[in-house]
């Protein structure tokens, strides 16, 4: 372990192999583990993303050892490989409690245009219908991680907009080989309790989730009154009863 950096509020950043560092921690010392491990999808052909560590139960057993009874794990993953990571977490002894999703709209499509592939296979030249301009927010052409022209990304440039030419390609116009990435699942798991939850909270200080701290607050009393009319109970979402307008 090297390069320990101390921050305010008792935060410490340490640089090293996570397996060595976990093995060096006292057993049962941690309340929780929040981690964004490699997704094992060979991202940009980078070696760190194909080691298999996220799928290795032995790694998660090191996490298990470091956690107190009732300690939670929140581990991010990719939609394609989540199941393998979740199985490894479970095989290490954790209880899978739930799944959280990070949802976003900035995903970069990675699929292939089926109609374009058919035209290319037939050797047909596609008809140009216009152009569009990128804004220099792609990854660096040199294979780095910059996401803007400032960080080394390609500068703005124009691309041709084409359409299917052959009849065979037109049949597959609008079809693609993949969905655009739009969410990353997070496994929520817990080390088994030491007795009942009440005793575990008293003796170890963990085991439950502070749900109220995660609630989205109302903008004010007017907002609250519009969202929760006096005739509707706060917990009644009317799924099986009379529908009501959804709040903004």
CATH 3.40.50.150 given to domain 2-106+180-215: yes
CB-count exposure of residue 245 (10 Å: 0-12, 13-18, 19+): exposed
pLDDT, one tens digit per residue, over 101-150 is 999 988 777 889 999 999 999 999 998 988 887 665 444 444 444 444 44
Task: Quickly state the pLDDT bin for 153 (edges 50, 70, 90).
Answer: low
User: Per the structure block, which two tokens stand in for 50?
Assistant: 């194909």
Rounded Cα distance, 226 and 231, in Å: 11
What does DSSP assign to residue 48? G
What token pair was written down for 194?
A: 């030491």
Q: Are 76 and 99 in contact (CB under 8 A)?
A: no
List, as one string, the DSSP characters of 51-73: S-GGG-HHHHHHHHHHEEEEEEE
Helix (H) or strand (E) holding 130: strand 127-133
The residues, any chain, with a CB within 8 Å of residue 173's CB and separated by 6 or more, are 115, 163, 164
- Residue boundaries of the structural domains of the chain: 2-106+180-215, 114-170, 217-248
**Whole-angstrom distance, CA of residue 201 vs CA of residue 223:** 35
Residue 26 has a pLDDT of 95
Judged against a pLDDT cut of 70, whether residue 161 lies above it is answered with yes
Q: Bridge-partner residues for 106, per DSSP? A: none
At 199, which helix (H) or strand (E)? Answer: helix 197-204
DSSP, collapsed to helix, strand or coil, labels residue 102 as strand
Most distant CA pair in the chain, distance: 72
| Nearest-angstrom CA–CA distance, 191 and 185 | 19
Query: What is the DSSP secondary structure assignment for residue 247, as one 8-state letter?
Result: P
Q: Is the pTM of this model over 0.85?
A: no
- Alpha helix segments (H runs only) across 67-163: 82-91, 114-122
What rounded mean pLDDT belongs to the chain?
85
Q: How confident is the model at residue 79 (pLDDT cuts 50, 70, 90)?
A: very high
For residue range 188-214, list pLDDT tens digits in order: 999 999 999 999 999 999 999 999 998
Query: Residue 5 above 70 pLDDT?
Result: yes
The predicted pLDDT at position 237 comes to: 53
């Amino acid at each position: 372990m090297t390069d320990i950096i101390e921050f305010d509020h008792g935060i410490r950043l340490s640089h090293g192999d996570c397996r060595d560092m976990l093995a060096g921690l006292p057993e049962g010392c941690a309340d929780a583990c929040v981690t964004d491990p490699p997704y094992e999808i060979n991202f940009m052909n980078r070696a760190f993303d194909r080691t298999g560590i996220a799928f290795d139960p032995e790694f998660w057993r090191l996490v298990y050892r470091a956690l107190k009874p009732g300690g939670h794990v929140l581990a991010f993953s990719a939609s394609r490989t989540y199941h393998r990571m979740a199985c490894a977490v479970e095989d290490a002894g954790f209880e899978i409690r739930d799944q959280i999703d990070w949802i976003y709209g900035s995903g970069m499509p990675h699929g292939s245009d089926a109609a374009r592939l058919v035209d290319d296979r037939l050797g047909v030249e596609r008809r140009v219908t216009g152009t569009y301009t990128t804004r220099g927010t792609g990854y660096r052409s040199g294979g780095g991680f910059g996401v803007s022209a400032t960080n080394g990304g390609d500068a703005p440039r124009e691309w041709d907009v084409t359409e299917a030419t052959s009849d065979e390609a037109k049949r597959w116009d609008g079809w693609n080989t993949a969905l655009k990435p739009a969410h990353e699942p997070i496994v929520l798991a817990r080390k088994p309790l030491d007795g009942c939850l009440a005793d575990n909270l008293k003796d170890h200080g963990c085991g439950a989730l502070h749900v109220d701290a995660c609630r989205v607050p109302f903008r004010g009393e007017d907002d609250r009154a519009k969202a929760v009319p006096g005739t509707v109970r706060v917990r009644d979402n009317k799924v099986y009863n009379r529908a009501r307008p959804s709040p903004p």
